[in-house]
Amino acid sequence: MFFDSDFSLGPIVAFVIGVLYIPILLAIARALGLYAIVREREAQVFTLFGKVIGTLDEPGLRFPLGYFGLKALLVPFFGKLYRVPTCLRQHYLRDQMVNSEEGTPMGVGIWYEMQVSDPVSYLFSNANPEGSLQANVASSTISTLSNLEMDKMLEDRHQLSRRVRAAVSPLSEQWGYALGSVYIRKVAFTDRQMVDNITDKVVKRLVQVTSAMKQDGENRVGLIKSETAYKVSQKMAEAAAARPAIVGEALNAIAQQDPEVLNAVMEVMETEQLIASGAQVDVLPVDSEILVQL
């Protein structure tokens, strides 16, 4: 069975060519401003003849004609499209030099995060908004921390961070930024000799504290021992005082039950007392009265 090759291949070739043309047509339509794709954390600013006609900041497929009217068709020829990332950014400024109230030079590290909140102000209010914001944060940090007491500078970093943020936020908003968290992460000494001196003082202080703690522990142990010994001696005295009465009651009970047992017990006790005294004992036969008299 034979097929007509022109009849079978023609539609397939036309379909393939049509599919290949779709990306080209979409690119042309996009270049002409018929549609725009706004990504996550991105804003697109449209300008025409040097003036801003609008901003698209909702992610997804957008049609500028629906937002800006026929002016959107002139943007590719007489205007410009700016893409501004609006994601959260973090920066860390190291070794910002400040002097404490005592005149000690110290290095401060400050971390902050910021996000573009007004794309138009970000583009046109400042030629270098990120550099200006960084300089503003650094200068506010130096002005806030300079001439503070060293203890306050080292201990009150949370409060100082909030003060820096309050000082920077108004100006950053004018430049299209929303300043997020600001935190003074590090306050360090820059003079090596001073660091060594402080280290020596800290070590000496630790030795003093350790010795004081050890002495306090020994005093407490001695006090506990003396209290325990006092209680033990008190109980022993009570027991010694109660012993004659208990022994007497026991002997009375034995005497009532069996006097011979009592006599045997008394003899054993007397013998023990005699042995314990260390006295010299002479053993004589039973019928040795003459020897006893001698």
Please work out, in degrees rounded to the nearest 5, the angle formed at the alpha carbon of residue 150 by the alpha carbons of 146 and 151: 135
Residue with tokens 């020897």: 291
* In the chain, domain spans: 15-84, 88-190
Element (H, E) at 83: strand 79-85
pLDDT single digits (tens) 150-184: 777 777 888 888 888 888 888 888 888 888 888 88
Helix 259-277 with 192-257: angle, nearest 10 deg: 130
- Measured CA to CA in angstroms, residue 238 lies from 6, 224, 242, 291 at distances of 128, 21, 6, 48
H or E element at residue 229: helix 192-257
Q: Which of 134, 123, 106 is nearest to 191 (CA)?
A: 106
The tens place of each residue's pLDDT in the chain, 294 residues long, gives 444 555 567 778 878 887 888 888 888 888 888 889 999 999 999 999 989 999 998 999 999 988 988 888 888 899 899 999 999 989 898 888 888 777 778 888 889 998 998 999 889 888 888 888 888 888 888 888 888 787 777 778 888 888 888 888 888 888 888 888 888 887 777 777 777 887 888 899 999 999 999 999 999 999 999 999 999 999 999 999 998 899 888 888 888 888 888 888 888 888 888 888 877 777 777 666 666 666
Q: Which CATH architecture has domain 88-190?
A: 2-Layer Sandwich (3.30)
User: What span, in angstroms and rounded, lies between the C-alpha atoms of 205 and 198?
Assistant: 10
CB-CB contact of 49 with 78 (8 Å): yes
